[in-house]
Amino acid sequence: MFEIRIICDTDHTEQALTALSDAFTLTGTRTYPARDGKRVRLYATAAPVAPTSPWPTPEDAYDKAPSILTEIGWIARTARHVIAYDETDRELYLRKAAVFDRIALTEEPDLPSGTATDAAMTAAFALIELDQAPTPGDVRGYVRQQYQRWREQQYQADHREDHAPEPCGESGCLCYGVGEEHDDHACGCDCPRCLDCQQLIENCDCEY
């Protein structure tokens, strides 16, 4: 906290206060006549403006995100079909880094290091390396930023007029919720089709 004194014309008082408010956090101002009797002395109690973080908070980044269990299920199923881990699999890297971050936030919110935190850091560095991005000061903040942007892109794509049905991502749904068997599950959740062949379970010949 510090004091600022400005001597200015009376007509410029509001302009000076506006300029100070833009640069500092003001907690109080006082105005007195200047010694020449023509101008005013403006005193302001101020503090530096707190720096803003370039990274979204976890609450903002993961607002309305699928549950952790849902994301783990999607990651496990998707990873089974990955042949070469490269930029074409960025969604897998991103969602894995995000879910590990969420697990660490839940299990080790105040620990600088731990099993969940270390896993989250490793997944975050893998995403940064894939993106060929400069290593930021907050690698998990980078994950949250990228996840939030990806979710916004998904939302915009889902609301296009030419949008084709897509899996809802819940409970292993991969068949778009299409078919009479989904009449009671409008979003496609609890998909009764085989995850591999997309046939109804009674018609599935897959071996498990």
- 170 φ/ψ angles, rounded to the nearest 5 degrees: -95, 140
**pLDDT tens per residue across span 147-201:** 999 999 887 776 665 555 554 444 445 555 555 555 544 444 455 555 555 555 5
**Per-residue confidence (pLDDT) for residue 199, from 0 to 100:** 57
- Show the tokens assigned to 27: 């907690």
Domain boundaries, the chain: 2-48, 58-163, 173-208
**Per-residue confidence (pLDDT) for residue 150, from 0 to 100:** 92
**pTM value surpassing 0.85:** no
Mean pLDDT of the chain: 80
More confident: 40 or 85: 40
- For 66, how many CA atoms within 13 A lie in the half-sphere containing its CB? 21
Which conformational region is residue 204 in: left (phi greater than 0), alpha (psi within -120 to 50 degrees), or beta? beta
Residue 16 has pLDDT above 60, yes or no: yes
Arithmetic mean of pLDDT, 199-204: 60
More confident: 100 or 205: 100
Which residues are CB-contacts of 206 (< 8 A; sequence separation ≥ 6)?
194, 196, 197
**pLDDT tens per residue across span 157-166:** 766 655 555 5
